Structure 1
Amino acid sequence: MSEDGTQGLTVIAFIGSVFSPYYAWDTSRDPFAHCAVNVVLYGEGRNSFCMTERGAKSLSRDARSIRIGPSAMAWDGTSLTIRLDEVTAPIPSPVRGTITVRPGGITQAPQTLDAAGRHRWWPMAPASPVTVALSEPAVNWSGTAYFDTNHGDEPLEDAFSRWTWCRADLKPGAAILYDVVRRDGTTQNLTLRFDADGTAREIAPPVAAELPKTGFWRMPRPTRSDDGRASVVRTFEDTPFYARSLLSSTLCGRPVNPVHESLSLDRFKNPLVRLMLPFRMPRPFGG
Structure 2
Amino acid sequence: MTRGGYVWWYVDAVSADGRQGLTVIAFIGSVFSPYYAWDAARDPFAHCAINVVLYGERGNRFAMTERNARSLARDATSFSLGPSSLEWDGSVLTIRLDERSSPVPRAVRGTVRVRPRALTAQPFTLDTHGLHRWWPMAPDCEVEAEFTAPALSWRGSGYHDTNDGDGALEDAFTDWTWCRAPLKRGSAILYDVRRRDGSGQNLTLRFDADGTRREMRPPLAAGLPPTGLWRMPRTSRSDDGCAQVIRTFENTPFYARSLLDSTLDGEAVQPVHESLSLTRFRNPLVRLMLPFRMPRRIG
Same fold (TM over 0.5): yes
2: CA distance between counterparts of 1:121 and 1:254?
A: 25
Where does residue 267 of structure 2 map in the other structure? 254
Query: Post-superposition shift, 1:27?
Result: 0.6
CA deviation vs aligned residue, 1:210-247 (integer Å, no higher than 9, x gap) = 01111111111010000000111011111100011111
Query: Post-superposition shift, 1:46?
Result: 5.3
The answer to whether the aligner puts 1:38 opposite 2:51 as a matched pair is yes
1: CA distance between counterparts of 2:275 and 2:58?
A: 23
Identity rate, percent: 70
1: CA distance between counterparts of 2:185 and 2:104?
A: 39
Q: Which amino acid aligns with 1:204?
A: R
Q: 1:21 aligns with which of 24, 30, 34?
A: 34
Q: Which moved more, 1:76-85 or 1:44-53?
A: 44-53
Contact 2:63 2:294 in 1 (8 A): yes
The answer to whether the aligner puts 1:136 opposite 2:155 as a matched pair is no
Structure 2 residue matching 1:102: 3-state secondary structure? strand
Q: 1:203 aligns with which of 191, 195, 216?
A: 216
2: CA distance between counterparts of 1:172 and 1:279?
A: 42
Where does residue 119 of structure 1 map in the other structure? 132
Q: Which moved more, 1:40-49 or 1:215-224?
A: 40-49
Where does residue 4 of structure 2 map in the other structure? none
Where does residue 152 of structure 1 map in the other structure? 165
Query: Post-superposition shift, 1:154?
Result: 0.3
Structure 2 residue matching 1:17: 3-state secondary structure? coil
TM-score by length of 1: 0.98
Where does residue 103 of structure 2 map in the other structure? 90
Structure 2 residue matching 1:212: 3-state secondary structure? coil
Contact 1:179 1:190 in 2 (8 A): yes
CA deviation vs aligned residue, 1:2-38 (integer Å, no higher than 9, x gap) = 1111111000000000000000111110000000000
Structure with more relative contact order (C-alpha pairs < 8 Å, separation 6 or more): 2
CA deviation vs aligned residue, 1:62-85 (integer Å, no higher than 9, x gap) = 011010110000011111000000
Q: Which amino acid aligns with 1:212?
A: P
Q: 1:78 aligns with which of 74, 82, 91?
A: 91
Where does residue 174 of structure 1 map in the other structure? 187
2: CA distance between counterparts of 1:169 and 1:17?
A: 28
Query: Post-superposition shift, 1:47?
Result: 2.2
Contact 1:194 1:200 in 2 (8 A): yes
Q: 1:47 aligns with which of 53, 56, 60?
A: 60
Query: Post-superposition shift, 1:45?
Result: 5.4
1: CA distance between counterparts of 2:112 and 2:218?
A: 33
Contact 2:173 2:194 in 1 (8 A): yes
Where does residue 67 of structure 1 map in the other structure? 80
Q: 2:289 aligns with which of 276, 283, 286?
A: 276
The structure with the greater share of residues assigned to strand is 2
Q: Which amino acid aligns with 1:266?
A: T
Contact 1:128 1:196 in 2 (8 A): no
TM-score by length of 2: 0.94
Structure 2 residue matching 1:267: 3-state secondary structure? helix
1: CA distance between counterparts of 2:74 and 2:285?
A: 34
2: CA distance between counterparts of 1:145 and 1:236?
A: 16
1: CA distance between counterparts of 2:85 and 2:147?
A: 14
Structure 2 residue matching 1:23: 3-state secondary structure? helix
Q: Which amino acid aligns with 1:140?
A: S
2: CA distance between counterparts of 1:171 and 1:127?
A: 11
Specify every segment of 5 or more residues in structure 2 that has no aligned partner in the other structure, as ranges.
Answer: 1-13
Where does residue 225 of structure 2 map in the other structure? 212
Contact 2:59 2:150 in 1 (8 A): no
Query: Post-superposition shift, 1:88?
Result: 0.2
